[in-house]
Structure formats: structure tokens, C-alpha cells
Amino acid sequence: MAVAKRKSYKEKKEYIDNSKEKLEGFLADKVDSIHAMLQAENPDVPVWNSPCFKIRYLNPISGTVYNLENSMLLSMLGKEKGFELPYYMTAKQGFDAGLSNKGEKADFVVHHFGMQIGFVKDGEKPGAGGNDDQDNAEGKAIYRRASKLSPVFNLQQFTGELPDKIKAQMAQRAKIPTPSEVQTVLQSVMDTMPIPLKRHAGAEHSNYFSPGEDTIYMSPSSHFKSDLHELSTLLHEVSHSYGVPSRKNRESLAKYVQSDEHRAYEELVANLSAQAVIKHLNFNLTDGMRDQLDEAFFANHQTYDVGWALKGLRDKPDQVFKAAADADRTANEIIYKLENDLKAKYELDPTLPVSDFIKQRLSRSEVDSTPQVKAPTISSHDIQVETATPIQQKKRTLKI
């Protein structure tokens, strides 16, 4: 049997560069359609509440929730072709499920992945050593982000009897999480977030991330309208915390105070990231809850008038695409840590209240089940309520 030849460092680099160029060309062709879609929506509705971000697009066979970048593409596709179902899968997946899509044309989603381009020892540059193409080379493995376009079909393009697996996925969308299920996730977020969480009893009970202290400050739980409201707010602030140089290094966070455009972009990233995690968990936000979150958001950011700038982003679809990609990178890390933590806790305590969708996710073989399990009741990040001293207040000059 013939064995495929291993690609050299140069060949891998060329593949990555070519895939990036192809992806940029593909997305550039979609910008005008995305712009028209955003412009057709209510301009008074925040960009992050656009239907293209609210709708949960799912592969009903693999259970994969399509990310924000692909949500924009699939939302536009649905409008253009009249698809009413948010389910997309490959032709092979449909065929294996006993369905047929003969004569149908595929559309594409973007698939990002890490490609190992070689190994490098301290002081060397990738491609400079002689061990890049060896299976057991020494040194640190070097990865670069690669992309490819994957063909998919909407469920409406298939004919035949839907298998039970797809019906079960569709039924899960209608389920509302219980308060205890939301509490389980809320605790897991607090256990896996990269920085401390401090509850503060200030006059305004505002919620914010302090880059100077690398700390999140939030009101006591009793001040939130629901557990899901608290979870959404915490995820927003955690998403901000990933923007610092030691994590995702977002320019919009570093230059937050310098312009409305940077502030609007950073807030869009944080809101989209939080929403991506909520959607991934299949925790549905009602319109009333979205209104509450938006009202709290603008009240919490009244120091900076970002409202007009956020509306202006509808005229900059390329920036919305970029913000969605930044939000995906942040949300992916939050989700990865969250699922690992929940899997470890669930294996220790099968009575842990988690939704059916999360149970299904935790059963997937690719979820790493090796993280250290922390106490499931009180988070080490959740420090007791405090009243800030004048010196502490002075340190918190930037609230995001």
C-alpha cells in the first residue's frame, strides 16, 4: 500500500499561505451580501443581536455548533436560498444517515485548524533545523493556523426519513435549561477563568474588567435578574480579560480609551464571544432577557458613549467579520476549558446537573478529561464581597 509522502516545512508553509489567500478571497466575495443583510435589519438593535449571531447553526450529525464566522455565512445563505432550518452537514453524513441530496449544490463553511510545520529547539527558527520532517524529532512542536473551505448542505436539501439522531438534536433546541444546570456552568466558568473574580458592594454595583489589576469586579449574585443573566455578564467580562497581551493581545483592548472605534470593536468582540458560549451550551436567551442584558450593558458603559459607534459597525462588514473571528478565538478557549472542567466533575459525580446537550458533548472522545478538578461549590476565584477603599478605586481607573 502506498504511503503518502510527508510534506516538508516549505510545502506546509506554502499550503498555509495559499489557504489564507483563498479564504480571504472567498470572504471578500461575501462582504457586499453581508453588508446588505446587516443594513436591512433594525438599526436600533445592537449588532450582536443580529439574527446571524442569535441563530444557533448546528451540524445535526456531529453535534458541532458552527462558530460566529460561519453563522454570518450561513445566515446570508439562508436568506438567499430560503432555508428555514439552521442545520447543515456534509453530503457523506447525509448519505450515511440514509438521506439523498442528488442534484443539489453545496455551499461552504470555513474550517480553521492548527497545522504542525515542524519542530524547533531553543534559539532556532522553524525551517532552519534538520528535524522538521522527522516523526520523532526533538524540540518544541510548532503550529500555524491553517484554513480550508468545507462543502456543506442544508437539511432542507436532503430527502428521505430523518434518522432518530437528527430528530433528537432538533428536539434539544426546544429545551430550556433548569436553574441548577445554569448554576453548574456558572460555577465552571468561575473555576476556569484566567483571573480572579471579586464581588464588590459599591453604590452602582457595576460589572467590569480592570486591566490594571487583571481582575473582574461584579455585583453580588442577588443583584442579577437570573442565573443566566449573571452567566452572560460574567462571560462578557471574561471575554474582555482574554484581550490582554499575555493572552489574545487584542489591539482594541490596549487602545480602549483612545477612540470610540476601538471601544465599539472591543465591546462587540466581548458580546459576541459571550453569546457564542451561551449558544454552544444550548442556553437560549429570550428576547426579554436580551433586552435586559442590552439595557444593563449600555448603563454599565455610560462613561463611554459607544452606542453610535456600535451602530456604525453595520456599515463596516469587514470589521464585523474580524470581530467575529476574534470572538471565536476567545470563545473557543473558554468552551474548551469549560468542557474539560465539566467532564472531569461529571465523571466524579454523575448526578451533577447538566443538560442533555452538554452530556452529549462531554461524551465526545476529543474532550480532554485530564484537568485538575476544583471544588464544585465555591470557586477560588469568587472572593467575598468587598467595599473598595479610595486607593483601590484609584487603581481601577479603566473599567471595561
Taking only the tens place, the pLDDT of each residue in 142-156 is: 777 788 899 999 999
Q: In which band, very low, low, confident or very high, does the pLDDT at 394 lie, cut at 50, 70 and 90?
A: very low
- Provide the percentage of residues in the chain whose pLDDT is more than 90: 43
Comparison of pLDDT for 286 and 334, the residue scoring more: 334
Q: In what order do the strands lie in the sheet with 197-200?
A: 208-210, 215-218, 197-200, 382-386
pLDDT of the residue at 354: 92
Which amino acid is residue 34, in one-letter code?
I
Length of the chain: 400
pLDDT tens, position by position, 174-211 = 678 899 999 999 999 999 999 999 998 765 658 899 99
pLDDT for residue 346 is more than 90? yes
pLDDT of the residue at 308: 52
Helix (H, G, I), strand (E, B) or coil at 103: coil
The C-alpha cell of 212 is what? Answer: 490594571
Please report, for residues 68, 109, 156, 190, the alpha-carbon distance to residue 82 in angstroms, rounded to integers and kept in the order given: 20, 18, 10, 41
**Beta bridge partner(s), residue 200:** 386
pLDDT tens, position by position, 175-185 = 788 999 999 99
pLDDT of the residue at 125: 58
Lowest-confidence segment of 24-33, 238-247, 296-305 by average pLDDT: 296-305
